[in-house]
Chains A and B, each alone.
Chain A
Amino acid sequence: AQKVTQAQTEISVVEKEDVTLDCVYETRDTTYYLFWYKQPPSGELVFLIRRNSFDEQNEISGRYSWNFQKSTSSFNFTITASQVVDSAVYFCALSEPNTGNQFYFGTGTSLTVIP
């Protein structure tokens, strides 16, 4: 079973639009961590954010914001006033410290921002 689901395979928006990338996770652990990474066309993976399961406070960092909802097992990522440089594949990931060492990645959402 897929532990992290990113249902949106591809999204296109026009520059300056807001866009939300969805992430739904599945875990039986009470302690877990959620992450978002950005993979621009150059291919590297850039760490964006980490949340632990005990902190449901939403976070804002510049144009980026994250909405963590334990009730729906979701950790969605919103980019406000999108820019062309935001074009990338975005991955959501889950780690479960009590059950292993690995990160579980979703299949990614490819975001294209059109100028």
Chain B
Amino acid sequence: NAGVMQNPRHLVRRRGQEARLRCSPMKGHSHVYWYRQLPEEGLKFMVYLQKENIIDESGMPKERFSAEFPKEGPSILRIQQVVRGDSAAYFCASSPRGGALDTQYFGPGTRLTVL
């Protein structure tokens, strides 16, 4: 039973480019969460999605960041016009039932480096 999959594992972008991070939840999970981990810090919540819906985006920066979880295919976290401060590890988690009641299982993360 495959766990949460994220790709790419490492992504390098120059300032101003776009970054697309993909997340495939565990089989049977329809709830996806994105977190950001800055160096030497814990994970910070960004957004919670269910298939085709954004449930909670209270942690998402207002500009340049967007997320989707289409009916078919992986969830995508998109960062437009990246800046150096976007360099971080981005983790995706999934859960079967959703919300804070449920255990979230994490993927291996995507490490974004902005040059």
> Could you list which residues of chain A lie within 8 angstroms of chain B, going by C-beta atoms?
4, 6, 33, 35, 37, 42-47, 50, 91, 93, 95-97, 100-108
B65 lies within 8 A of chain A by Cβ = no
Q: What residues on B are CB-neighbors of A37 within 8 Å?
A: 106
Q: Is the CB of B58 within 8 A of A100?
A: yes
Between A and B, 5 residue pairs with Cβ closer than 8 Å are: A96-B100, A97-B99, A101-B48, A104-B45, A106-B42
Of chain B, the residue at the smallest CB distance from A104 is: B45
> Could you list which residues of chain B lie within 8 angstroms of chain A, going by C-beta atoms?
33, 35, 40-45, 48, 55-56, 58-59, 89, 91, 93, 98-101, 103-109, 111
A103 to B56, CA, bound (A): 12
Q: Is the CB of A47 within 8 A of B42?
A: no
Q: What residues on B are CB-neighbors of A105 within 8 Å?
A: 35, 42-44
Q: Is the CB of B56 within 8 A of A47?
A: no
Q: Is the CB of A101 within 8 A of B100?
A: yes
A46 to B89, CA, bound (A): 15
Residue from the set B44, B103, B108 with the largest chain A CB neighbour count within 10 Å: B103
Q: What residues on A are CB-neighbors of B91 within 8 Å?
A: 45
B57 CB, min distance to chain A CBs, angstroms: 10
A108 to B56, CA, bound (A): 25
Q: What residues on B are CB-neighbors of A101 within 8 Å?
A: 33, 48, 55-56, 98-100
Q: A35-B103, A95-B100, A107-B41 given as contacts; is B48 within 8 A of A42 (CB)? A: no
Q: Is the CB of B42 within 8 A of A102?
A: no
Residue from the set B40, B48, B99, B101 with the largest chain A CB neighbour count within 10 Å: B101
Q: What residues on B are CB-neighbors of A46 within 8 Å?
A: 106
Q: Is the CB of A102 within 8 A of B105?
A: no
Q: What residues on A are CB-neighbors of B44 within 8 Å?
A: 105
Q: What residues on A are CB-neighbors of B40 within 8 Å?
A: 107
Q: Is the CB of A50 within 8 A of B103?
A: yes
Q: A91-B42, A91-B43 given as contacts; is B106 within 8 A of A100 (CB)? A: no
